[in-house]
Amino acid sequence: ETGVTQSPTHLIKTRGQQVTLRCSSQSGHNTVSWYQQALGQGPQFIFQYYREEENGRGNFPPRFSGLQFPNYSSELNVNALELDDSALYLCASSPPMGMNTEAFFGQGTRLTVV
C-alpha cells in the first residue's frame, strides 16, 4: 500500500508566476484535501475534492484552484503568486466521504516565492 506522495518537494517561483503542485492519494482513498502551512502556524485548509469535484473550501482566494483526476490524484494551482504564498503545501487523502476518519498527509511541497 503506497502512501500519499507529493511533487515536487521544493520549488522556487517569482512573484506573479503560476505554479502547479501534484499529489497522489493513498490507495483506496477517494477524497483529497490541500492545506497551506506558513512558518510557525498550523496547516490551513484550502479545499477538498471528492469524485473530481470541489467539496468544501477554506478562506482562500479564487487564484487557488485545483483538480482531481479519475485515479483520485490531484493538482493544486496557484496563479499570480504573491510573496505571502511562500509556505509548505500539504496534500492529504482520506477514505470515502461521510466517515469521520483520519487524513493521511504527504511530505509536502515547500514553495518559496521571491
Partner 1 sequence: DQQVKQNSPSLSVQEGRISILNCDYTNSMFDYFLWYKKYPAEGPTFLISISSIKDKNEDGRFTVFLNKSAKHLSLHIVPSQPGDSAVYFCAASGGADGLTFGKGTHLIIQP
Site residues for partner 1 per CB under 8 A: 4, 6, 33, 35, 40-48, 55-58, 90, 92, 97, 100-108
Residue 47 pairs in a beta bridge with 34, 57
The one-letter amino acid at 83: L
CB nearer to partner 1: give 40 or 70: 40
For residue 109, the Cα-to-chain-centroid distance in whole angstroms is 9
SS3 of 107, please? coil
Q: CA angle, 45 as apex, 23 and 5 as ends, to 5°? A: 15
The one-letter amino acid at 21: L
CB nearer to partner 1: give 80 or 97: 97
Rounded least distance, CB 23 to partner 1, Å: 11
Rounded least distance, CB 33 to partner 1, Å: 5
Rounded least distance, CB 82 to partner 1, Å: 22
CB nearer to partner 1: give 8 or 16: 8
